[in-house]
Amino acid sequence: MSNVTVHPTGEVVEVRDGETIMAAFYRTGYAMRIGCKRGGCGFCKIDVHEGGFEYERPVSDEVVTPDEASHGVCLPCRAVPTTDMVVEFRENSLRLVNPLMRYMLSNKEVPAKKPQTATRV
């Protein structure tokens, strides 16, 4: 499992082994600007500041040029982290759409409820 940290907000999402960055963000209550969701359009490009990834399937040089790739551009719809990563989403394309899901996932330990006792009136 790898962690992906969003620059500059510091939000952290756990990515399961073999899971794409996009799938992990959707699973944890986020949405992002997307196009085809299969690596053919390049609409979801993000910038990788730290860390490594592999593509689950090949990506065309026309979608992510060799120059972009050398400067840390990747497609989160196809990218599977190989290490912890720090990424930046372009043009505020990431947004939290399910705060409750995010809250529940960030609080893995749920406090036990106190037993209730009945009182007679």
pTM equals: 0.80
Count of other CB atoms within 10 angstroms of residue 25: 23
pLDDT at 110: 46
Task: Write the pLDDT tens digit of every residue in 91-112.
Answer: 878 888 887 777 777 665 544 4
Give the sign of the dihedral formed by CA 66, CA 71, CA 73, CA 78. Answer: positive
Domain limits of the chain?
A: 2-101
Cβ atoms of residues 82 and 2 within 8 Å:
yes
H or E element in which residue 15 lies: strand 12-15
Cβ atoms of residues 89 and 32 within 8 Å:
yes
The dotted CATH code for 2-101 is 3.10.20.30
Cβ atoms of residues 79 and 21 within 8 Å:
yes
